[in-house]
Amino acid sequence: MDFMVFQYPMITIQACLDGILLGVLFALIAYGMALQWGVMNIINIAQGDLVILGGYIAYFMYLYGIHPAWGVIVSPIIMYFVGVGIYKLVINKVVDRDLFISILATFGISILFMQLMNFAFGADVVLANSGYGTTFLFDSNVVLPNSKIFSAVVSIVFAICLVIYMKKSKLGRAIRATAQNSRAAKILGVDTEKVYAATFGINAALCGVAGALISITFTIHPYMGLPYTIRSFMIVIVAGLGNLPGVAMSGMGLGVFEEFADYLLGTEFRIGSVFLLLVLILVYRRFKLSRKREYLK
């Protein structure tokens, strides 16, 4: 254990800010997951792989001399169609089956994507340089890379746009209606098939944005998807479905938690601590649920 993070207030602030900026990005991925989980009742294990694929799109733009920040526009557009494609090929066959089948199917997609990306782009770790500078705070005791700030801002903008879209647009309303009761929606003339495809597409597009941001702030690699899946799963579990502010809050919370775990336990336990937290929360929920049931009896 290393308590340095509490001994220097500046490090505490640094850890909190780093965590929040990171958490916003996680929340964006989790939002996509919550959306399609809520609408289609599918847990998408391939979420992280979609993120990485989005990252590669930004990376290739960067390779061809386009600034990778444009990736946050281009990547979601391409990824939307990738998402719709996956839906038409696989997901529509498992959408009304039980959760287990959908987990298996998306797990398969995840493996397929990993191998295809490895095959197509190689196993090298790559990144896109944005060339954004650094922001110094508190007499340069706290440093924030502008790329992280950029990614947090872009994530928030996309999240807000999506919320407005879901509230105001026709498709958004159809999606929400389907989430509430797909049968009723169908009876009232909503083409649920189309809604499902669009939902999965929107989810993939969000992953595309997040991926582009990750290629700018961190590194991407064909096999790095799973940690993002786990994180978004965890955020959704904590926040609950259809609870948007909850997703944002628990995303940031997870970001800060990770940063502190990093300082306290060491970087090697960073992802491990997320898994541990996930288990603890699931156990706690179960415990709470069983108590409630007893009460109802």
Partner 1 sequence: MKIKKIIITFVSAIAILLSTSVVSFAKVVGDKIVLGAAISLTGKYSSNGVHTQNGYNLAVERINSMGGVKVGGKSYKFDIIYYDDESNPKRAAQLAERLISQDGVEFMLGPYSSGLTKAIAPVTEKYGVPMVEANGASRSLFTKGYKYLFAVLAPANLYLDVAIDLAVEKNNGKPVRIAQAFEQDAFSQDVRLGILEAAKRTNSEIIIDDKLPKELNDMAATLVKVKQMKPDVLVVSGHTKGALTAVRQIAEMKVDVPMLAMTHCDAAKLSKQHGKNSQYALCASQWHKSLTYKDKFFGTGMKYAKDFEKQFKYDPPYQSAESSAALLVFKDAFERANSFDQKKVRDALAATNMQTFYGNIKFAPGGQNVDKPMVLFQVMCDDSGKCENKVVAPTKWASAKLIHPIPSWSKR
Cβ proximity to partner 1, 11 vs 78, nearer residue: 11
Out of 77, 99, 120, 124, which residue is the one contacting partner 1 (CB under 8 A)? 124
Instruction: Give me the residues paired with residue 136 across strands.
Output: 143
Part of the chain binding partner 1 (CB under 8 A), chosen from 154-162, 194-202, 205-213, 270-278? 270-278
Burial class, 227, CB count within 10 angstroms (exposed 0-12 / middle 13-18 / buried 19+)? middle
Q: Does residue 8 interact with partner 1 by CB under 8 A?
A: yes
Residues 281 and 238: beta-carbon distance below 8 Å: yes
Q: Does residue 112 interact with partner 1 by CB under 8 A?
A: no
What is the distance between the alpha carbons of residues 118 and 287, in angstroms, rounded to a whole number? 42
Q: Does residue 259 interact with partner 1 by CB under 8 A?
A: yes
Could you tell me which of 210, 241, 242, 247 has the C-alpha nearest to residue 225? 210
Q: Does residue 49 interact with partner 1 by CB under 8 A?
A: no
Least separation in angstroms between residue 10's CB and partner 1 is 8
Could you tell me which of 177, 179, 128 has the C-alpha nearest to residue 151? 128
Out of 52, 211, 262, 278, which residue is the one contacting partner 1 (CB under 8 A)? 262
Out of 70, 129, 160, 184, which residue is the one contacting partner 1 (CB under 8 A)? 129
Cβ proximity to partner 1, 77 vs 143, nearer residue: 143
Q: Does residue 118 interact with partner 1 by CB under 8 A?
A: yes
Q: Does residue 143 interact with partner 1 by CB under 8 A?
A: yes
Could you tell me which of 154, 255, 146 has the C-alpha nearest to residue 208? 154
Token digits of residue 286: 């179960």
What is the distance between the alpha carbons of residues 225 and 218, in angstroms, rounded to a whole number? 13
What is the distance between the alpha carbons of residues 222 and 215, in angstroms, rounded to a whole number? 12
Q: Does residue 41 interact with partner 1 by CB under 8 A?
A: no
Q: Does residue 150 interact with partner 1 by CB under 8 A?
A: no
Contacts of partner 1 in 190-249 (CB under 8 A): 218-219, 221-224, 226-227
